[in-house]
Structure 1
Amino acid sequence: MYRFLLSRQWVILTLIGLLVMPAMYKLGFWQLHRHDRKEATNHVIDRNLADPAVPVESLTGPGRTVPSSYLYRTVTLRGHYDTAHEMVARQRTAADGDSIGYHVITPLVLADGRAVLVNRGWIAAGDDLTTFPKVPKAPSGELTLTGRLRPDETTAATGIRNRAGLPDRQISLINSTLVAKQVPETLVGGYVELATTAPKPSGAQPELIPEPGDISSALNMGYAIQWWLFTAMVPVGWVILVRRERRERLAAPPAGSGTEAEPVPAVASP
């Protein structure tokens, strides 16, 4: 009664099941690995935010890549702003998650002449996107800053495409290598999100970037479990279909058993 499994229909159905099961199994582990990476990143961020601040020069330098282990590490900087080479990063979201504007990026020149890109915060876009926006004036003189160290932005990491031909002093990615030719000083790798300034600046300033929260990883674990459940459902569903097919074949009358309906005889016309 199981010879029907050798039919074309059942062979194809079985092969499809055998192919999709390992694919779904691997997709489950892919989501699990994404969950684990996010949890590891959350641990690094929490640790770095809690650690004491260190001079930015001790963690990065010209041509250096900021490693993931330094992500959001609290750093100190002492120097003066180079406002003549200030720029803005386009298409940035405010803390409310809805408003689109710019991040103000100003080089801070250190005592040794090197400079660090400082993200001073968010400003509204305004009406004319083809010109440099009106930016709150950066404080002058010697300053001491604290902030959070970030690696240079890349398209792969952020999904932001690096557009060419933008208006003067507007950039897509906050990347020390990409903007090096726009700044006379030698830039260190990465950039800093501003947290505090001493002396405290007077007048309006850009809206500071808030501290990062934990990256949600619950969905990834849910997706992993979902894929594994789908994997387990394939053989269960196959068995259910096989048993149903077998019952239907057992219930069907055998061919030529005489149980077919008798033909209605033709009525002779008068």
Structure 2
Amino acid sequence: MSTQPAEKPWWRTFLTPGWVIAALLIAAFSYFAFTVLAPWQLDKNERLEQRNEHIVEAFDQDPVPLSSVLRADGSLSPDDEWTRVTATGRFTGPDVLLRLRPVDRTPAFQVLTPFTLDNGETLLVNRGWVPARDSTKVPDFAAAPGSVVTLTGMLRLDEGIHPTAPMQDQGYQMVYSISPGQIGELTGTDMLSPYLQLLGGEPGVLEPIPLPQLETGNHLSYGLQWIAFGILAPAGLIYFIAAETRERRRYREEQEQLLLADASPTPAGPAPEPAAAEANVGTQGPAQRSRYGQTRRNPWSGAYDKEQERSR
């Protein structure tokens, strides 16, 4: 009588290169989604919400003196960005141009001019923008007034120094980011940390820089989607592991039932012809379904048939 070989533990089925690589890739993806992608989008959404709140608050309140917003060291708190302030002094030049910063999808140059305050400190002022001629040429634009003026604008934080070095072109110093510290080095002045973005109608303003739209876009939904993907990926792996385990259990139960059916006594009947019996030995075992629906012979039925034939 044949016996069914011992079955290996179910978990060893998944210790194959395919399953292991799939598990590692899914684990890496979920970790990246939770720690990088989702926080990246959610953080952008939070920053935009804070920016919108600051802009709304700025126009809900009257402009305040510049000195009341700056810290003791002349820097600006991020919570005070977009505050409307007033500053009195005179433009002392020279103009520095910000390049490769389109405005409303129009190739443009933004004009940045040092402004000496009545207390002797220097503040960088973004006077607005002018459209580029032929996408690259600097057009003529009005010079800043030379008299003492009082400006009203919105305080902006230093953008930081761009990796691309400043350049001299068409008679102007050109930069790739608005960094008062860097522009101060180019113009030989010691500037305050924030800069002033002029509003329309102010002395020396060109085309005023448009204010951002008060919306946050799809960053919140993108962040939630990455969280969902990070959950669904391992959940899908668990589902396929459970489905594989269930299919193997069903297959094993079918094998056991077939073995029991082969071992049960068969009713007496006319003996088959010798030639037919010999031809059928090892070929007439009961067929069975494989794990995934195909039919194949029971691997134990041939041995059982031979044993029955020898006992006759």
Q: Counterpart of 1:142?
A: 148
Identity of counterpart residues, as a percentage? 24
Do the aligned residues in 2 keep the contact of 1:65 with 1:152 (CA within 8 Å)?
no
Deviation at 1:119, TM superposition (A): 1.0
1:256 aligned onto 2:256? no
RMSD: 3.2
Could you say if the C-alpha distance between residues 36 and 111 of structure 1 is closer, same or farther in structure 2, counting changes exceeding 3 Å? Answer: closer
User: Which of 99, 102, 121 in structure 2 is aligned with 1:90?
Assistant: 99
Q: 1:107 to 1:5 in 2, by over 3 A?
A: same
CA distance in 1, matches of 2:243, 2:44: 39
> How far apart, in 2, do the equivalents of 1:19 and 1:176 lie?
42
**Bigger RCO of structures 1 and 2 (CA < 8 A, at least 6 apart):** 1
Partners of 1:60 and 1:153 in 2: CA distance: 17
Instruction: Specify the code of the residue in structure 2 equivalent to 1:166.
Output: Q
CA deviation profile, 1:71-125 (whole Å, cap 9, x unmatched): 1110112222224x1222112222xx21111111122222223222111111022
Distance verdict in 2 for CA 1:109–1:36, change over 3 Å: closer
2:63 maps to a residue whose letter is: A
Distance 1:5 1:64, change over 3 A: farther
Which residue in the other structure is 2:81 paired with? 71
- Look up the match of 2:41: 31
Relative to total residues, which structure has the larger helix share, 1 or 2? 2
- Report SS of the residue matched to 1:42: helix
Alignment of 1:185-196 (within 5 A): 185-196=189-200
Match of 2:173 among 153, 169, 175: 169
Alpha-carbon distance in 2 for matches of 1:238, 1:35: 31
- CA drift of 1:184 comes to 5.4
Gaps of 5+ in 2: 1-6, 252-288, 291-295, 303-312
3-state secondary structure, aligned to 1:75: strand
Structure 1 position 6, deviation (Å): 4.1
1:215 deviates by 4.9
User: 1:23/1:183 Cα in 2 relative to 1: closer, same or farther (>3 Å)?
Assistant: closer
| Runs of 4+ residues over 4 Å off in structure 1 | 127-130
The residue that corresponds to 1:230 in the other structure is: 229
- 1:205-244 CA distances to partner (integer Å, 9 max, x unpaired)? 621112233352x522222222222233234323442354
Q: Which residue of 2 aligns with 1:180?
A: 184
The reply to whether residue 104 of structure 1 matches residue 147 of structure 2 is: no
In the superposition, relative to structure 1, how do residues 21 and 172 fare at CA in structure 2: closer, same or farther (>3 Å)? Answer: closer
In the alignment, which residue of structure 2 is the partner of 1:266? none
Distance 2:201 2:140 in 1: 21
> Is contact 2:113-2:127 (8 Å) kept?
yes
For 1:207, the equivalent position in structure 2 comes to 207
Distance 2:179 2:40 in 1: 30
With normalisation by structure 1, the TM-score equals: 0.75
2:277: which partner in 1? none
In 2, Cα distance between the equivalents of 1:3 and 1:143? 79
Q: 1:127 to 1:184 in 2, by over 3 A?
A: same
TM-score, length basis structure 2:
0.66
Q: Which runs of 5+ in 1 are unaligned?
A: 260-270
Q: Flag the structure with larger Rg.
A: 2
Distance (whole Å) between structure 2 residues aligned to residue 169 and residue 189 of structure 1: 20
Partners in 1 of 2:96 and 2:111 — Cα distance?
6
